[in-house]
Structure 1
């Protein structure tokens, strides 16, 4: 069990602390549930009563808090609450149960190169030509394909599958079931098919019906920068010819799908169930809310935010806040939504006016 002094925690957070800094805590807890050995997280004034109701002796509190008045023996001050919360969770992180060393059931090709201090769990498969940096933590039932390269300090949870020739930078983090470097969803018909005809004419005729599809194999791979995180059961397709790329610091939530040939910039957030279709380009610092869909061959500039369930079907300039399906600038979407809500009343008024006109006497 973790055991940290208040001084240790404050130092790791780069935060100010007061009181008995030698006091030790074993975990964190909500203020009203905290026991005497736990660090209460009370980073806003609204938590003051909850601190009093709990049994914590130490807490992370807001700047200027009367921590002694709340009955605490020590306090750590949080100038930006959620940022400090990020640091606290790193201190008390529950790392996966992977023993240092290589488990005897792991299958590692003799040509693979593994760096110093590896922790490789049961039934992991590492193929020929793989290179993995130092301090790798790879949990059970994961697999790494031929000639893949992974940098230092990766944390790979259970059941992650990394395909052949994938390139991954330092400090990689993958949750359970992620699949990186799968085949792209790319098919073609022997002659122009229904989709092509529908795009061109808006119709489907007998001439465009097809009896099947020919696969276009993915010859490229996937390249991830440093500090990339991939959520559970997310899938990143290999490029058809060029690589699919994800920039430094980008984070993908659970159930995110990135199609073949996609380029995603640095420090982006792709939330749960986001889907990015093939050959789209996304700039830096882009945030796509849950269930956002991006059509193929779309370019999204940097510093774009798209609200949840937005459907992006045309290019988006940098710095836009988008909403709706089809996605448009947020203020326009809000006006359109207001107008849509007014439609039933408008239809009723028009019907009433029609009745009045039909009953009015004819004039010369």
Structure 2
């Protein structure tokens, strides 16, 4: 095995062994606590620019299933595991995690004590890391000097509109880094979907005659989104039912006067209990977030908090008091975790049908 090193931005290094591609890489370090779903994470655009560390001791033990892709393109920049398994259950019996990483040019490092790594990351607020061949001063200097692109949405979102036909309500899905599982859940409800680029204006959307709009999940900081997008969201919610997920949730919060800030420790996994406030029900959805709504920035006359994380206290859901607009920070589409949030898609379709009835009654 080829020896490799995981370098952290505080000067610490972990020695391990190479698997996957042998190139060097630098990215934000994300620690994922899920027991499985490594393929979904590696292809989820939310993980763009990130080196993903999996705490599950053995990764790769179910091979790669092409039906589980969240995107055709691969977004993660690297993978860190304790033990890598070379198993494949694909039809051709040749698509193991190692071969998948080589095919996608993603470097990996194994034989890392990921539990110790997680503890170190939490204690020292690690943000950036590199997977490299040497741990000398030059390698650390390169890590410190590395500047990650802030054009993340442009790198992962669709550049052109496309149609996902259905016989039900017509929905425009604004792509900020769309997970395919969001499309799958809407398709189960027979939605007729038109996926559009992140910077599509309301005027352009209106020509498509939608009955509702979904703001997708996506990577990066909401502060880097153009002001025109926020104004666009403000216009949409005055006219149509609106549902936001992940980054889309953060943008709806900003459009309604709230602030969003980077968390000191990001949260990736499905081990946090989230409380649905109206019923006190606990769910354990998949989460992949580095940013959260600042609690005291919410104007109570504009927004209602609907879900809250019981571990770190972050707001996980909001609803508008004035418009048929709501959003969640977690993944209601079941990507890489539980299916506890599926009912939110049904709720969105029901809000569209109610809006349609009101429009007919008004005429």
Mark the structure with the bigger radius of gyration.
Answer: 1
* Greater relative CO, 1 or 2 (CA 8 Å, sep 6+): 2
TM-score range for the pair, normalised by the shorter chain length: under 0.3
- Could you tell me the TM-score, scaled by structure 1's length? 0.24
